[in-house]
A and B are shown apart, each in its own frame.
Chain A
Amino acid sequence: MKAGGSISIWFFIGVSLLFNGVLILAAGIYQYLQPPEAPTVLFNLHAGIWWGAILAILGVIYCILYCPSRMKTQ
């Protein structure tokens, strides 16, 4: 489904996932390099890094697949 004239709802979702994923990934890397004094449980798994990366990759895929300029040409 498209909004307005050309933007798909999935593009908005892609933008959201990409923005959140990049921030979470960056915060995860920072915490890896500078471990906090009071770490969370299972901190050693560095969930921020892999979860942030998953969200960012999904965000990129959605942004590309549902990019407004690409949708116009279809």
Chain B
Amino acid sequence: MTALLAFASNNRLVHLSTVDLAIIVFYFLLVLAIGFYLKERANTGEDFFMAGREMTAWIAGLSFLSANLGSLELMGWAGSAYQYGILAAHWYWVGAIPAMLFLALVMMPFYYISKTHSVPGYLKLRFGESSRALSSISFAFMTVLMSGINMYSMALVLKIVLGWNINLSIWVSAGTVAIYVALGGLRSAIFNEVLQFVLIWAGALLIPILGLIEAGGWSGLKARITTNASAEYVHLWSTLGSAKDNPMGIQWIGIVFGLGAVISMGYWTTDFLVVQRVLTSKDMRAAKMAPIIGAAFKMFVPFIVILPGLLALAVLPIKLMPEAQAIATGGHSYNEVLPLMLARYCGPGLLGLGITALIAGFMSGMAGNVSAFTTVWTYDIYRAFIKKDGSDHHYVNMGRWCTVLGVAISIGTAYLVMDFKSIMDYVQALFSFFIAPLFATVIIGMLWKRASPAGGFWGLLAGTASSVAMWAWVKVDPSALRYIALSPYAKDMAENMYRALWSCIICALVTIVVSLLTKPKPESELKGLVYGATEIPPESYVTVLHRPWFWATVVGVVFIALQIAYW
């Protein structure tokens, strides 16, 4: 690590001018100003934790997407596009769009009608306290740990790209997030996420525009990639028949069922970090429209993330490499694709805006983690198990302190990772253990009245335990990957897909079997929680153009057209 930092300090990728610094400083001042301005609107628990439940579909939808659009996501997937080609776009299309539409049309009514504050809160209403305890404790701690890892990674990027001091980057960015979230609560986080969303597009959109001009359009890009790498890099589906035919080492089954049906469903429909944004919607129609608006914009994110990776493959005169190799040889790693492309096309001012986009992405991701942690800790752990009879004012104060505490734990994690880098892999694996089984538990709970509290708890526990067991099996014996991923040619990425798929199936089977053997909740207690026991308000009073189904169909048609166009 010391060697890396020493290397980084002498080899910064870009040099910022006064104009660039002015743009970055103005961004920090603006987000702080928003936090101070919104302080007066964060006095009650409903204001602080749920932004008053008064967001329009556009605000909730853009915030829903922005909370996920972290800078590591941007840089990581741009690097993956360089490494794996257009296959990386699956994480934005089949790995997101169907799940977001499913959340909007099928799951959102139950979340919204139940008036829950959180996903663990829904589990409490549907399955009881033990399921909530399991999911809230795991979510709260994994969220702040992930936030710390992201913080460290971002500080390291700023060190490598700009030569900034790593401690300064951590403390300034974390301090800014702590101030504006602690002051204005979720409303402030959402406000800033929408601002950050606009800045990300304004700062990153120029790269694909100029890149396509340089490469000679899409056909020129494909020709150059075929020469520099392989023709397989520009096909989305046609190389997925066998794991040995594509750079990712995965088959279509893993992409469709592992990624599309389990991992993305788990993340976009049950990860409270993103679902919380939609729960702030002002009414049911806005709550259903928000994920659809998010999906419409998500479809075009590959234009600023995947396309720059492909363009780098076509136009960069240097070869990028894995991080360890880059450190050893003094070269550039895959993750440096976006900064390299920024430096290639952007002069003073544009460079500052591009760097601001990366910082904004990091801060929106971190604010999302911290505000979700604050809500789950205060409502699902502190109020549920520690102090049940506090006043609303008491819980708001707890939320403010918890925001600061969450940021402090994140900073601690960042420093821990700095010294023990392998922790990063373990925490990321830990986080993945809970997502896939949680989706099975929630969706069975929403759609099947017979699912019992015992079934929900034991299913979630069995799914999580099986995921841990499969991960440990491959760690101990790497050749076990061929059994889990169903192919001797499978690579690391395939393991995640199949582990999620199996753990979700195991969770579903255990939930069903235990539910059939145990006593279900009476139907009177399932009102507002389960399909068949919940009256969903009709939408016949609005025109077709205002109905969520109509816009979900439009998004779905464009999604299918994109798959065919890049087949």
Residue B536, interface by CB 8 Å: no
A27 vs B349: C-alpha distance in the bound complex, in angstroms?
A: 6
Inter-chain contact A12/B191, CB cutoff 8 Å:
yes
Residue of B nearest to A10 (CB): B194
Residue B389, interface by CB 8 Å: no
Chain B, interface size category, equals: 35 or more
Q: Which residues of B contact A13 (CB under 8 A)?
A: 194-195, 198
With beta carbons under 8 angstroms apart, the residue of B187, B194, B345 that contacts A47 is B345
Q: Mark A1-36, 1 if CB is under 8 A from B, else 0.
A: 101100101001101110110011111101100001
Inter-chain contact B345/A40, CB cutoff 8 Å:
yes
**B residues 166-198 in Cβ contact with A at 8 Å:** 187, 191, 194-195, 198
Inter-chain contact A4/B350, CB cutoff 8 Å:
no
**In the assembled complex, how far is the CB of residue A4 from the closest CB belonging to chain B, in whole angstroms?**
5
Also in contact, A7 and B199, with CB within 8 A (given A40-B347, A47-B206): no
Q: Which of B32-40, B217-225, B447-455, B554-562 contacts A (4 or more CB under 8 A)?
A: B32-40
A74 vs B427: C-alpha distance in the bound complex, in angstroms?
A: 51
**In the assembled complex, how far is the CB of residue A51 from the closest CB belonging to chain B, in whole angstroms?**
6
**B residues 397-437 in Cβ contact with A at 8 Å:** none
Q: Which residues of A contact B347 (CB under 8 A)?
A: 27-28, 31, 36, 39-40, 43, 47-48
Inter-chain contact B349/A28, CB cutoff 8 Å:
yes
Q: Which residues of A contact B516 (CB under 8 A)?
A: none
With beta carbons under 8 angstroms apart, the residue of A1, A16, A27, A43 that contacts B17 is A27
Residue of A nearest to B37 (CB): A4
Q: Mark A24-68, 1 if CB is under 8 A from B, else 0.
A: 111110110000100111110101100110010000000000000
Q: Mark B23-48, 1 if CB is under 8 A from A, else 0.
A: 10011001000100110110000000
With beta carbons under 8 angstroms apart, the residue of A1, A19, A30, A31 that contacts B56 is A1
- Say what secondary structure dominates the interface of chain A: helix
Q: Which residues of B contact A17 (CB under 8 A)?
A: 198, 202
**In the assembled complex, how far is the CB of residue B240 from the closest CB belonging to chain A, in whole angstroms?**
34
Inter-chain contact A9/B59, CB cutoff 8 Å:
yes
Q: Which residues of A contact B34 (CB under 8 A)?
A: 3, 12
**In the assembled complex, how far is the CB of residue A29 from the closest CB belonging to chain B, in whole angstroms?**
10
Residue B245, interface by CB 8 Å: no
Inter-chain contact B350/A16, CB cutoff 8 Å:
no
With beta carbons under 8 angstroms apart, the residue of A16, A39, A45 that contacts B199 is A16
Q: Which residues of B contact A31 (CB under 8 A)?
A: 347-348
Also in contact, A24 and B26, with CB within 8 A (given A1-B59, A3-B187): no
**In the assembled complex, how far is the CB of residue B195 from the closest CB belonging to chain A, in whole angstroms?**
6
Q: Which residues of A contact B352 (CB under 8 A)?
A: 23
Q: Which residues of A contact B26 (CB under 8 A)?
A: 16, 19-20
**In the assembled complex, how far is the CB of residue A14 from the closest CB belonging to chain B, in whole angstroms?**
10
A4 vs B54: C-alpha distance in the bound complex, in angstroms?
A: 13
**In the assembled complex, how far is the CB of residue A48 from the closest CB belonging to chain B, in whole angstroms?**
5
Q: Which residues of A contact B23 (CB under 8 A)?
A: 19-20, 23-24
**In the assembled complex, how far is the CB of residue A54 from the closest CB belonging to chain B, in whole angstroms?**
9
Can you report 23 residue pairs joining A to B where beta carbons are below 8 Å apart?
Answer: A1-B56, A3-B34, A13-B198, A16-B27, A19-B26, A20-B202, A20-B349, A23-B349, A24-B353, A25-B349, A27-B17, A27-B19, A30-B348, A40-B343, A40-B344, A40-B346, A41-B315, A41-B345, A42-B345, A45-B213, A52-B349, A52-B350, A55-B202
- For the complex with contacts A4-B37, A13-B195, A24-B19, 5 further pairs of A-B residues with Cβ separation under 8 Å are A1-B59, A12-B30, A16-B27, A39-B347, A41-B210
B residues adjacent to A (C-beta < 8 A): 17, 19, 22-23, 26-27, 30, 34, 37-38, 40-41, 54-56, 59, 187, 191, 194-195, 198-199, 202, 206, 210, 213-214, 315, 343-350, 352-353, 356
- Give the 10 A-B CB pairs with smallest separation, nearest first: A24-B349, A27-B349, A27-B348, A27-B19, A1-B59, A41-B344, A13-B198, A40-B347, A42-B210, A4-B37
